[in-house]
A and B are shown apart, each in its own frame.
Chain A
Amino acid sequence: MKNTQPTTADLERQLKRRSKAAKLEVWGRVVSFSALILIVAVVVAIIGFVASKGIATFTTNHVNLWDFLTGKDWNPGIKDAHGKPEVGALSMIVGSFLITILSALIATPFAIGTAVFMNEISPNRGAKILQPVTELLVGIPSVVYGFIGLSVVVPFTRNVFGGSGFGILSGTCVLFVMILPTVTSMSADALRSVPRYYREASLALGATQWQTIWKVVLRAATPGLMTAVVFGMARAFGEALAVQMVIGNAALMPHTLVDPAATLTSVLTTGIGNTVMGSLQNNALWSLALVLLLMSLVFNLIVRLIGRKGRLH
């Protein structure tokens, strides 16, 4: 005899079965999560690959880490008097830090001043002209900055200070203009996030506009402004082509600001294509890339610390 009624077992299965929507939900969760995992895997792979190549100089070629960081002579192909390869990266590390710090020092007052102007003094003009222009300039490719540096800044320094015109000074000028829009637009964001009633309270107490800006708005926005500057510095430190075009590419200790010099990024861009994979010359370049990577992690850490400290207020 055939039973048309569903058995309790069938019924149970039917009720406990996942609906189509529930299956779709699991599927969607898995797909979107795997996209996320992919990004994390990329980050891990980048750090892993660059680190493993960068360490080879010290493990395979037995270069002393201290010599690498403090040595002043960079000729990976040549051996010095002690029979050790000349892989001192100090000149490039100094070059990178010099142009980063100098350009940030010049850019910061201009950027914050402009941000204050467009946010506090003339919000109308700020929103209509300055903001769109800075946003557009943030997107201008760095090679364009490099090209303008090459055709305007380098001849200018050559005429004024003599020499070839290539050097730290030209690099600083190019980077200053390059990070200016970035730092300005991030500083403006920081100022914008200061609540309106801070200003109102200060003005109601009889403070002048400048006192309000200096003692209230800038103080309240300090973490955000510092983040903006650190971001600018990170961008300057990691910029490759614009700097490479104007710095002169001579891996020597910079004695004046108008001598040709080199940065980590400029040596990397010019060198990596001219060396053989696995050779000491090549490994030494990867060590420079590793230094670059570690510095970008440090900048990241600084931004995080600022963010954490800012939250306590």
Chain B
Amino acid sequence: MLKAKLQNKIAIGALYGVAGIVVLILVALLGYILVSGMPQLSWHFLTAPAKAFLKGGGVGVQLFNSFYLLILAMLISFPIALGAAIYLYEYAKDNWVTSVVRTAIEILSSLPSVVVGLFGFLFFVVKLKLGFSILSGAFALTFFNLPLLTRNIEDSLHTISENQREGGLALGLSRWETVNKIILPAAVPSILTGVILSAGRVFGEAAALIYTAGQSAPALNFADWNPFNISSPLNPMRPAETLAVHIWKINSEGIMPDAKAISSGSSAVLVIAILLFNLAARYLGKRLYKRLTSA
């Protein structure tokens, strides 16, 4: 009896210790990123173009590229993921076709992102001759994002009570109308949360991009918004190094004199962006849920 109690005490104490160490590691990690990166942040750093061989460059172009790629990738992947999730959850019968499809989605989600990037390189950059471009990068990110987003949306559909579906069908609506008019509006808050969280993942992805969107960031003319001009920020055919790729590149090349400072700053920007995505997902999800459901 005593032995069991003593054992209990020791074990619980050990668990406190383990959890303490993990918290310490995680806090030190976040702290290191923020403390070493925050002093680098300034308006100049966030907006100025990068300098390859000199000190004092910024990450303005890379930051813009990251957001532009994120938006394009989301625009392509969201409708596909939505359709796939609707079919999987609302229509699909439990048969071998469905299980094959589910397996395929699982495989896609577990593929290393470098493999997805290499496929993007082979197919879009080389075969379709899109070159190192924003478009190639957006497609690669789409593949990377699709399985995650599909699963998120499916989970959101799952949270809507079966009564709502029965209600719609009992009113004589078709299944499609039920989904569109009843289920989707009710699921919007949690779908949005899922979209924002996956946006955070896409925002920091680099391995899928180094051979698709490329590793160079040509200077942009932010006064030129015609997508067909080569120096226009909106041109989807230009190569576009993102912030995450930038960190990798300047560290592995080692020709930029202040690479370390720039990487610390960029890391802090990435982490803060992810933090904001997370907070926004929580906040907007709750807020929208209140507004849409009067709950």
Contact = CB atoms under 8 A, between A and B. Distances in A.
Nearest to B10: A210
A211 B6 CA distance: 11
A245 B248 contact: yes
Q: Is chain B's binding surface mostly helix, strand, loop or mixed?
A: helix
Given A43-B107, A300-B106, A208 B174 contact: no
Contact of B175 (A25, A114, A211): A25
A250 B260 CA distance: 23
A116 B13 CA distance: 12
B32 to A, nearest CB: 6
B146 interface: yes
Contact of B110 (A28, A109, A270, A300): A300
A303 B90 CA distance: 26
A144 interface: yes
B110 to A, nearest CB: 5
A50 B121 CA distance: 11
A180 B118 contact: no
A141 B143 contact: no
Interface in B229-246: 244-245
Contact of A36 (B101, B115, B118): B101
A177 B32 contact: no
A147 B267 contact: yes
A234 B270 CA distance: 24
A40 interface: yes
Interface in B59-75: none
B50 interface: no
Contacts of B176: 24-25, 27-29
Report the contact-size class of chain A (Cβ under 8 Å from the partner).
Answer: 35 or more
B206 A141 contact: yes
Contacts of A27: 176
A24 B84 contact: no
A266 B21 CA distance: 30
B112 A237 contact: yes
Given A114-B18, A265-B112, A240 B83 contact: no
Given A208-B4, A211-B8, A269 B251 contact: no
Given A49-B119, A144-B33, A273-B211, A293 B111 contact: yes
Contacts of B111: 46, 238, 293, 296
Interface in A255-313: 265, 268-270, 272-273, 277, 286, 289, 292-293, 296-297, 299-300, 303
Contact of A241 (B11, B19, B116, B206): B206
Interface stretch (B219-227, B272-280, B284-292): B272-280
Contact of A28 (B118, B179, B200): B179
A297 B115 CA distance: 12
B197 interface: yes
Contacts of A201: none
Contacts of A205: none
Nearest to A22: B174
A143 interface: yes
B15 A116 contact: yes
Given A146-B251, A300-B106, A21 B91 contact: no
6 contacts: A24-B174, A40-B100, A148-B32, A151-B263, A238-B114, A240-B114
Minimum-distance CB pairs A-B, first 7: A238-B112, A141-B204, A35-B83, A28-B176, A113-B18, A117-B19, A208-B8
Interface of B: 4-5, 7-8, 11-12, 14-16, 18-19, 21-23, 25-27, 29-30, 32-33, 36, 79-84, 86-88, 90-91, 100-101, 104-108, 110-116, 118-119, 121-123, 126, 143, 146-147, 150, 173-177, 179-180, 197, 200-201, 203-207, 210-211, 244-245, 247-248, 251-252, 260, 263-264, 267, 270-271, 274-275, 277-278
